């Protein structure tokens, strides 16, 4: 029974990502990134370094994806965001290597306002995008 639920949840999550708009994918990535950082901090404080490492590594993967999908030449803030992603990636590596909860917290502090801003921007895009058949496009 548990495997059926896990398989159904995995399928739902996959379909949610595949059908999501770019704005929704971005907010989903930020939500998961901050969740990984919160979990990593919790496990670091408990001294569970293996589990903390798992979350820090996943956070690094998300930052790498955000970095690779960013096109900094398309807007004035792009180069600054690119630099921030590079800095966060280095801090996450250090947080993992040196078991440094302060670096993990710093990443949360840097990224939380961005998550909020991207959620606000996504809401504006969804509110202003055309609707087709009762569903919003975008």
Query: Looking at the domain assignment, is residue 135 inside a domain?
Result: no
Rounded-to-integer distance, Cα 127 and Cα 93, Å: 38
Query: Looking at the domain assignment, is residue 8 inside a domain?
Result: no
**Res 9: pLDDT:** 57
100-122 residue pLDDT tens: 999 999 999 999 999 999 999 99
**Res 133: pLDDT:** 45
26-49 residue pLDDT tens: 999 999 999 999 999 999 999 999
Query: Looking at the domain assignment, is residue 132 inside a domain?
Result: no
Q: Classify 137 as helix, strand or coil.
A: coil
Say how many domains are in the chain: 1
Q: Return the minimum-mean-pLDDT range out of 8-17, 30-39, 90-99, 116-125.
A: 8-17
Query: Looking at the domain assignment, is residue 4 inside a domain?
Result: no
Q: Return the minimum-mean-pLDDT range out of 28-32, 118-122, 124-128, 133-137.
A: 133-137
> What Å distances lie between residue 108 and 4, 72, 73, 125, CA to CA?
34, 22, 26, 25
CATH number at residue 60: 1.20.120.340
Say what percent of the chain tops pLDDT 70: 82
Please state the φ and ψ torsions of residue 70, each to the nearest 5 degrees. -75, 135
Rounded-to-integer distance, Cα 36 and Cα 62, Å: 10
Angle at alpha carbon of residue 41, lines to 89 and 6, rounded to 5°? 90
Q: What is the model's pTM?
A: 0.83
Query: Looking at the domain assignment, is residue 99 inside a domain?
Result: yes
> What Å distances lie between residue 92 and 21, 49, 106, CA to CA?
28, 14, 9
pLDDT average, residue stretch 7-30: 75
Rounded-to-integer distance, Cα 23 and Cα 6, Å: 27
Range of the domain at 102: 21-126
Query: Looking at the domain assignment, is residue 131 inside a domain?
Result: no
């Amino acid at each position: 029974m548990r495997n059926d639920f896990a398989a159904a949840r995995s399928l739902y999550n996959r379909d949610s990502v595949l059908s999501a708009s770019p704005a929704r994918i971005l907010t989903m990535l930020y939500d998961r990134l901050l969740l990984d950082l919160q979990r990593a901090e919790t496990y670091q404080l408990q001294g569970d370094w293996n589990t903390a490492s798992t979350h820090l590594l996943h956070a690094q993967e998300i930052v790498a994806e955000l970095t690779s999908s960013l096109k900094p030449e398309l807007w004035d803030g792009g180069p600054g965001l690119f630099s921030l992603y590079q800095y966060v990636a280095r801090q996450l590596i250090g947080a993992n290597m040196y078991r440094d909860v302060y670096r993990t917290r710093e990443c949360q502090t840097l990224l939380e306002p961005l998550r909020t801003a991207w959620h606000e921007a996504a809401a504006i895009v969804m509110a202003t995008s055309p609707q087709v058949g009762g569903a919003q496009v975008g």
